[in-house]
Structure 1
Amino acid sequence: MSKEIKCVVWDLDHTMWEGVLLESPHVTLKPGIPEIIRELDSRGILQSIASKNHREDALAKLKEFGLAEYFLYPEIHWNAKSTSIENIRKNLNIGIDTFAFIDDQPFELEEVKSVHEDVLCIDAAGYKELLTRPCLQPRIITKDSTRRRLMVIEDMKRQQEEETFEGPKEEFLASLDMKFVISEAREEDLQRAEELTVRTNQLNSTGITYDYDELNIFRQDPNHLLLVCELTDRYGSYGKIGLALIQKTAEADYLKLLLMSCRVMSRGVGTVLLTHLMQRTKKARKRFLAEFCQTERNRMMFVTFRLAGFNEVDKREDISILEHNLEKLHPFPPYIEVQVPQLEESF
Structure 2
Amino acid sequence: LFICDVAALQNKFGRNVMFDSSVYINTEMVLSLDMIPYVASRIMDIVCAAQGQFKKCLILDLDNTLWGGIIGDDGLENIQLGHGLGIGKAFTEFQQWIKKLKDRGIIIAVCSKNNEETAKEPFVKHPDMVLRLDDISVFMANWDNKADNIRQIQSILNIGFDSMVFLDDNPFERNIVRENIPEITVPELPEDPGEYLEYLYDLNLFETVSYSKADADRTKQYQVEAQRVSLQKVFANESDFLKSLDMMSEVRGFDKFNIPRVAQLSQRSNQFNLHTIRYTDADIERISTDNHYKNFSFTLSDKFGDNGLICVVILEKQDEETLFINTWFMSCRVLKRGMENFTLNTLVEYARENGFKRIIGEYIATPKNKMVEEHYQNLRFTPLTDATRNLFVLEIDTYEIKECYIKKKL
TM-score by length of 1: 0.89
Deviation, 1:99, is 0.8
Change (3 A) 1:132 1:148: farther
- Aligned partner of 2:170 in structure 1 is 105
Quick one: distance in 2 between partners of 1:262 and 1:108? 28
Q: Work out which of the residue numbers 203, 206, 210 in structure 1 matches 2:272.
A: 203
Picking from 97, 100, 114, the partner of 1:36 is: 97
Equivalent residue number for residue 327 of structure 2: 257
Matches within 5 A, 1:185-196: 185-196=254-265
Match of 1:164 among 210, 213, 234: 234
1:212 aligns with 2:281: yes
Q: 1:179-328 residue pairs with structure 2 within 5 A?
A: 179-248=248-317, 249-286=319-356, 287-315=358-386, 317=388, 319-328=389-398
Residue number in structure 2 paired with 1:344: none
**Aligned match of 1:329:** 399
Distance 1:275 1:182 in 2: 12
Residues 138, 223 of structure 2: 8 Å contact kept: no
Query: 1:121-156 CA deviation, whole Å, 9 max, x = no partner?
Result: 124444324467543132112111111110111222
AA aligned opposite 1:208: I
Give the aligned residue type for 1:311. Answer: T
How many angstroms apart in 2 are the aligned matches of 1:69 and 1:283? 46
- Where does residue 62 of structure 2 map in the other structure? 12
CA distance in 2, matches of 1:268, 1:87: 23
* Bigger mean CA offset, 3-12 vs 77-86: 77-86
Question: Matches of 2:287 and 2:387 in 1, distance apart?
Answer: 22
The corresponding residue for 1:69 is 134
* SS of aligned partner of 1:23: helix
The residue correspondences of 1:25-174 to structure 2 (distance < 5 A) are 25=75, 26-29=78-81, 30-64=91-125, 65=129, 67-125=132-190, 126-129=195-198, 130=200, 133-165=203-235, 168-174=237-243
- Indicate how the Cα distance of structure 1 residues 308 and 327 shifts in structure 2: closer, same or farther if over 3 A, else same: farther
Kindly provide the CA deviation profile for residues 277-321 of structure 1, in whole angstroms up to 9, marking residues without a partner as x: 12221332323222221223434434231122212325373x323
1:39 Cα deviation after fit:
0.8
AA matched with 2:117: E
Letter in 1 for 2:95: P
- Structure ID, larger Rg: 2
Comparing 7-16 with 190-199, which one deviates more in the overlay?
190-199
Amino acid at match of 1:137: E
1:233 offset after TM fit, Å? 1.4
C-alpha separation in 2, matches of 1:83 and 1:279: 44
Deviations 1:56-111 (A, max 9, x none): 21111222235222223323233332222222112212111011111222222222
CA–CA distance in structure 2, aligned partners of residues 332 and 312 of structure 1 = 19
Question: CA deviation digits over 1:231-276, x for unaligned, max 9?
Answer: 1112221111100111123332111011222221221222211221
Percent of counterpart pairs with the same letter? 24
Letter in 2 for 1:171: D
TM-score (norm 2): 0.76
Distance 1:55 1:288, change over 3 A: closer
Q: Say if 1:275 and 1:329, in contact at 8 Å, map to a contact too.
A: no
Contact 1:228–1:244, Cα closer than 8 Å, also in 2: yes
CA 1:225/1:174 → structure 2, altered by over 3 Å: closer, same or farther? same
Q: Unaligned 5+ residue runs, structure 1?
A: 342-347
CA distance in 1, matches of 2:397, 2:291: 27
Alpha-carbon distance between aligned partners in 2 of 1:127 and 1:219, rounded to the nearest angstrom: 45
Counterparts of 2:243 and 2:147 in 1: how far apart (Å)?
Answer: 38
- Distance in 2 of aligned mates of 1:229 and 1:132: 38
CA RMSD between the two structures:
2.3
Aligned equivalents of 2:106, 2:298: Cα separation in 1: 23
Distance 1:109 1:156 in 2: 26
Deviations 1:160-190 (A, max 9, x none): 233234x653333223221122110112322
Q: Is the 8 A contact 1:51 1:81 kept in 2?
A: yes
The structure with the largest strand share of the pair is 1
C-alpha distance in structure 2 between counterparts of 1:211 and 1:314, whole Å: 33
Indicate conservation of the 8 Å contact 1:131/1:137, yes or no. Answer: no
The alpha-carbon distance between structure 1 residues 108 and 307, as it changes in their structure 2 partners (threshold 3 A), is closer
